[in-house]
Amino acid sequence: PPAGADPPPPRGQGGDTPPLPPPRFQYQQLKQELERRFPGALQVSGQGTQEVTGWFEVTVGGRLVHSKKNGDGFVDSDAKLQKIMAAIKTRLS
């Protein structure tokens, strides 16, 4: 924020941004969104980890296109979703 401005409220504590769902729910949201956009064309699978933060990776046609472990974080922005969808479209064409 600019000098003298109040910092934005933490996620889920005021403002317009809802709190982030837990990782398992984020996976389910992404799975549902991809299956909605590419009906019958995808096989989406997930595997939990022992770690609290876990791994969150998206592989398309054997190519890793998104990896929380490698610094991409969760799919929490339109830009990240678009990157994944572009890889899917390329693979399906």
User: What does the pLDDT look like over 40-57, one tens digit per residue?
Assistant: 888 887 777 676 666 777
User: What does the pLDDT look like over 2-39, one tens digit per residue?
Assistant: 555 555 544 444 555 566 556 566 778 888 888 898 88
Task: For 67-84, give one letter per residue: b (16+ CB within 10 A) or e.
Answer: ebeeebebbeeeebbebb
Using DSSP, state whether 48 is helix, strand or coil: coil
Domain boundaries, the chain: 30-42+55-92
What is the spatial distance between Cα 57 and Cα 38, in angstroms, rounded to a whole number? 19
Q: Among 3.40.50.2000, 3.40.30.10, 3.30.360.10, 3.40.1190.20, what is the CATH number of 30-42+55-92?
A: 3.40.30.10
To the nearest 5 percent, what fractions of the chain are helix, strand and coil? 30, 10, 60
What is the spatial distance between Cα 57 and Cα 84, in angstroms, rounded to a whole number? 11
- Residue 24 has a pLDDT of 60
